[in-house]
Amino acid sequence: MLKPEDNELLCRVGPGTPMGELFRRFWIPAMIPEELPGPDCDPVRLRLLGENLIAFRDTEGRIGILDELCPHRRASLYFGRNEECGIRCVYHGWKFDVDGNCTEMPNERPETDFKHKVRTKTYSAAEWGGYIWVYMGPAERKPPLPEFEWALLPPEHRWQKKWLYNANYMQGFEGEIDTCHTTFLHRTDDYSALSPGLAAASANWQKDGMPTLDVRDTDYGYFYGSQRDLGDQGYNWRVTQWVLPSNSIIPHPKYPISSRAYIPIDDENTFVFGTSYNPEAPMTQEERDYLETGLGAAPRTIPGSYVPITNKSNEYGLDRAVQRQGSATGMPGINNQDRAIVESMGPIVDRENEHLGTSDVAIIAARRKLIQMAKDLAAGKEPDMPLDPALFGVRAIDVTTRIPDLDTVVETYSEKLRLPAA
Ligand code: FES
Ligand SMILES: [Fe+2]
């Protein structure tokens, strides 16, 4: 359980909140490049960490992330004209460039023009690793872009998708660091629709539903090893990575690896940026086709939006007849099952009434660390982690071996795990 005040601290991410400030020390993925297809494209509304913004690409192709509301009389720049290196508010014609400077004030005569005194709020943006990233923190703390393994690979090695969760970021993220639920929530009597990696993982999950978890704190977050007893075959070890503030790297016995970022739109809504990647080879067409089905760890979305096709309005595709026959949920798709359960808790789960067990130790550790870091920052202690881009480059592994302890697993597979030097 968590005291209500700690739950508030964990979940609230708007401007001025301790957790919101912590998120504002990181570059965060915010859009996919297709949302801003080219110079002078249509402006797009962007809500991030509880702030309403406008994104556009100017005539030179530079990305602008501006306060949605015009600093004159607060009209929405969403209705603005994107023209000649700036966005023009259509109410009285004030124009702003990607750096937030007011470059024209056509409703004032030259002697009363005060455009040089007007700036609008703007944030830095960068294209990196297949996403558009935004940095919303203080300029003097702006870090280098995070060197996730997939961000450094050629685009052919990865498949990426953005989708909506109607719940707080941490609620969704706690599913990522909860290996135990896979045995139960994702159980079915037919794994043939899954990718080879997920099907192989699922077979292990069914053999032992009481994994032992061992968490190791690190500079970048933590990793934990979950040990499942497979009898004669030895142990299945999954080493899952939590990379600050809300990134998971989830292993499977076969590539691709899944990396997901849970990015708060606001306190009650989240965009997930999911990257499936193969560090050793380009993704095959077959792998891409499978990921597009929505049966795996990313859903299909309604064309032209990021809303999953199966969602609360259609009970996530629940079919009670299917549920009776051997599927735990009667719902199609791994992420769909995850999302149904996460959203079923309400937008911000009441953690005061939980009863946590040993299978929840990784969740407890992540909450503690995030709350402590947010408190530290509020007390003036800045996090160092975002400033070291190499710390983001760790990998997760899923191996079956006779090794009985996590330390030896880590030592044996240290190269594959890409852990930073101690
Ligand atoms: S409100 Fe934008 S120019 Fe007046
Ligand atoms: Fe899951």
At 50, which CATH number?
2.102.10.10
Crossing angle between the packed helical segments 361-378 and 4-11, to the nearest 10 degrees: 80
Instruction: Give the residue ranges of DSSP H helices in 123-236.
Output: 169-176, 181-185, 196-207
Q: In the numeric block, which tokens belong to residue 241?
A: 């990575």
- The reply to whether 77 falls in a domain is yes
| One domain, residues 193 and 223 | yes
- The reply to whether 26 falls in a domain is no
Distance 247 CA to ligand 2 centre (A): 15
State pLDDT tens for residues 49-90.
999 999 999 999 999 999 999 999 999 999 999 999 999 999
Question: Residue 45 is part of which domain span?
Answer: 33-129
| One domain, residues 116 and 184 | no
> Which residues lie below 8 Å from residue 234, measured CB to CB, with a gap of 6+?
400, 401, 402, 403
| One domain, residues 295 and 165 | yes
Residue 124: pLDDT above 90?
Answer: yes
Question: Which residues, judged by CB distance below 6 Å to any ligand atom, belong to the binding site of ligand 1?
Answer: 70, 72-73, 75, 89, 91-94
Residue 173: pLDDT above 80?
Answer: yes
Q: Interior CA angle at 389 toward 30 and 162, to 5°?
A: 25
The answer to whether the beta carbons of residues 401 and 245 sit under 8 Å apart is no
Distance 49 CA to ligand 1 centre (A): 25
- The reply to whether 393 falls in a domain is yes
**Domain final residue pick, 76, 96, 129:** 129
* Number of Cβ atoms within 10 Å of the Cβ of 415: 8
At 387, which CATH number?
3.90.380.10
State the Rg of the chain over Cα. Answer: 23
**pLDDT given at position 127:** 98
| One domain, residues 168 and 302 | yes
Q: Which ligand is nearest to the CA of 181?
A: 2
Strand order in the sheet with 44-48: 27-31, 131-135, 122-128, 63-67, 51-57, 44-48
User: Whose alpha carbon is nearest atom 4 of ligand 1?
Assistant: 92
Total number of domains constituting the chain: 2
Instruction: Give the residue ranges of DSSP H helices in 267-333.
Output: 285-292, 320-324
- The reply to whether 62 falls in a domain is yes
| One domain, residues 397 and 269 | yes
Residue 104: pLDDT above 80?
Answer: yes
Report which secondary-structure segment, H or E, holds 45: strand 44-48
Distance 137 CA to ligand 1 centre (A): 26
Mutation to probe ligand 1, out of 54, 67, 68, 72 (largest number of atoms < 8 A from CB): 72
Question: Would you place residue 120 in the very low, low, confident or very high pLDDT band (cuts 50, 70, 90)?
Answer: very high
**pLDDT given at position 192:** 87
| One domain, residues 234 and 359 | yes
Provide the 8-state DSSP code for 157. G
Residue 5: pLDDT above 80?
Answer: yes
Question: Would you place residue 193 in the very low, low, confident or very high pLDDT band (cuts 50, 70, 90)?
Answer: confident
371-398 mean pLDDT:
98
The answer to whether the beta carbons of residues 318 and 329 sit under 8 Å apart is yes
- The reply to whether 411 falls in a domain is yes
| One domain, residues 96 and 176 | no
| One domain, residues 177 and 42 | no
Distance 229 CA to ligand 2 centre (A): 20
| One domain, residues 405 and 311 | yes
- The reply to whether 3 falls in a domain is no
Alpha-carbon distance values, 43 to 28, 73, 80 (Å)? 20, 19, 8
| CB-based burial, 138-168: b 16+ in 10 Å, e otherwise | eeeeebeebbbbbbebeeebbbbbbbbbbbb
**pLDDT given at position 31:** 98
- Of 34, 323, 2, the closest CA to residue 174 belongs to 2
The atom number, within ligand 1, closest to the CA of 74 reads 1
**For the chain, give me the number of helices (H) and strands (E)?**
11, 18
Question: Would you place residue 191 in the very low, low, confident or very high pLDDT band (cuts 50, 70, 90)?
Answer: confident
State pLDDT tens for residues 136-148.
999 999 999 999 9
**Domain final residue pick, 97, 129, 161:** 129
**pLDDT given at position 76:** 98
**pLDDT given at position 190:** 86
| One domain, residues 306 and 386 | yes
* Number of Cβ atoms within 10 Å of the Cβ of 400: 15
- The reply to whether 327 falls in a domain is yes
| One domain, residues 342 and 242 | yes
| One domain, residues 205 and 284 | yes
**Domain final residue pick, 66, 99, 129:** 129
Distance between CA atoms of 242 and 244, rounded to whole angstroms? 6
Is the alpha carbon torsion for 350, 351, 352, 354 positive or negative? positive
The atom number, within ligand 1, closest to the CA of 73 reads 1
- The reply to whether 360 falls in a domain is yes
